[in-house]
Amino acid sequence: MPTYQYKCECGNKFELFCRMSEHKNTAECQCGKTAKQIINAPRLIIVKDIYYDSPIDGRPITSEAARREDLARNNCIEYDPCMRQDIDKRARENEIKLDNEIDETIDREISMMSARQREHLDSELTKGLTAEVVRI
């Protein structure tokens, strides 16, 4: 059964809970005057079906409250789609940082070589030898 809201000239607002067949656009206020119905947008409450097993401890999750409890119990946070972008950004930043560290290490190792070793490396590279960095 729906709830209908009314407002009287005296300023009193009240609600009536009745069947649609019993509904009227006016109702009697406590002051004795006739109150008019306030037209509101319908209220829609959506309850999501939730049923899954916790990926951490396997307990069944069957409600929003159980979901919040599971997140708190396992020290987790709610997933936000923007988190994926943040993870990708951090991965790119880490890739760049690692590449820079590799370049610095190579430059440092080359600078520690003897003049003869550097000349040998330079001649191999100018003859077409390529070096490929492989991460293990």
Write the DSSP symbol of residue 55: T
Residues of the domain holding 96:
82-126
pTM value > 0.85: no
Mean pLDDT across the chain: 85
Q: Does residue 134 belong to any structural domain of this protein?
A: no
Q: Does residue 58 belong to any structural domain of this protein?
A: yes
Banded model confidence at residue 70, pLDDT cuts 50, 70, 90: very high
Residues of the chain with pLDDT > 70, as a percent, come to 93
How many structural domains are present in the chain? 3
Q: Does residue 133 belong to any structural domain of this protein?
A: no
- What sign for the dihedral angle of Cα 59, 63, 65, 67? positive
Banded model confidence at residue 83, pLDDT cuts 50, 70, 90: confident
Which amino acid is present at 26? T
Q: Integer distance in angstroms from the first to the last C-alpha of the chain?
A: 67
* Residue 94 token pair: 């880490």
Q: Does residue 110 belong to any structural domain of this protein?
A: yes
- Residues 22 and 71: their CA atoms lie apart, in Å, by 46
E-assigned strand segments in the chain: 3-7, 13-17, 26-28, 34-38, 52-53, 60-61
